[in-house]
Amino acid sequence: MINLSPSATSEIGRLQSKQQINVFFRLAIKPGGCSGWFYEMSFDQTVATSDRIFNFNGIQLVIDTNSLEYASGLTVDYSEDLMGGGFRFHNPQAIATCGCGNSFAISQ
């Protein structure tokens, strides 16, 4: 299961409203980054038959099945501080994260 905090849902909705077309919020986990894996967020118009869709107060989050195995229990949050706003990822599977918070390591 994946969770979006109310502040993340609100921010994604705000960003989504700027799109000219109806889009899904896509979350992917890909190899790379300074810790081995990183989160990629985008808007997408298509959904593959193997994708999973989660609905959060009107936000349809789409994730591919490969990414889903690394996202079990993931919570996506959004917060603002003196440095600006940004999404924060709280992944119980991560054994280490880098300073930017977007890259993480998992035990193999």
Which pLDDT belongs to residue 101?
63
pLDDT tens per residue across span 60-83: 999 999 999 999 999 999 998 877
Give the whole-angstrom CA distance, residue 77 versus residue 3.
9
CATH number of 3-106: 2.60.300.12
With contact defined as beta carbons under 8 Å apart, do 74 and 84 qualify?
Answer: no
Under the banding of pLDDT at 50, 70 and 90, the label for residue 6 is very high
pLDDT tens per residue across span 15-31: 999 887 889 999 999 99
Cβ neighbour number for residue 69 with a 10 Å cutoff: 11
Which pLDDT belongs to residue 9?
96
Place of tokens 């808007």: 43
Domain locations in the chain as residue ranges: 3-106
